[in-house]
Copies of this chain bind each other. A is one copy, B any other.
C-alpha cells in the first residue's frame, strides 16, 4: 500500500460511486492500473465495502442517543453485546475500558421509541444492571471517514 493507494482511497471516501475512469483521471493514471489497485485493496480487506450515506432526518431515525450500559458482575459480555448488535436501531456496540460497561449508539424515531427499546429489550436482559442515556440535541459532525495521511512512507 503506497501513496497512490491512499489517493484512491481518499477519492472513494468522498464519492464512492464515481466510475473507475474518473478516479483514473483525477490521479492521472490509466483506468486499468487503477482498477488493478482497487481490486487488490478489496482482496486485502482494506476496502470493506461501499455504502450509501442517507440523510437521517428524512427517515424515522432522527433521534440519536448514547447509552452507557453497566453490566452485572457475572455478565456474559460477548453474548450480551452480540444480542444488542442484532437490534436494527442500535448502530454501535463498544466494550469500554474500566467500567464493566458497554457504550451503545442508538438511532430511533423519538423518545417514546427509545423508551420502548430500553424497557422492553435492553433493561430486561439478565446481564444489564442499569443504563444511562445521553440524548443528542444536535449533531455538528457525524462521519465514518478515517483520516488518511497526506504522505505515506513505504514500510518494506
Contacts and interface: CB of A to CB of B under 8 A. Distances in A.
A136 B49 contact: no
Contacts of A125: none
Contacts of A50: 15-17, 50-53
A33 interface: no
Contacts of A15: 49-50
Copies in the complex: 2
Interface residues of A, number: 62
A99 B135 CA distance: 10
A148 interface: yes
A56 interface: yes
Given A60-B149, A134-B103, A139 B91 contact: no
Query: Which of A13, A94, A99, A149 has the largest count of B CB atoms less than 10 A from its CB?
Result: A94
A31 interface: no
A47 B16 CA distance: 13
Contacts of A14: 49, 51
Interface of A: 1, 9, 12-17, 44-56, 58-61, 64, 66, 78, 81-82, 84-85, 88-99, 103, 107, 134-149
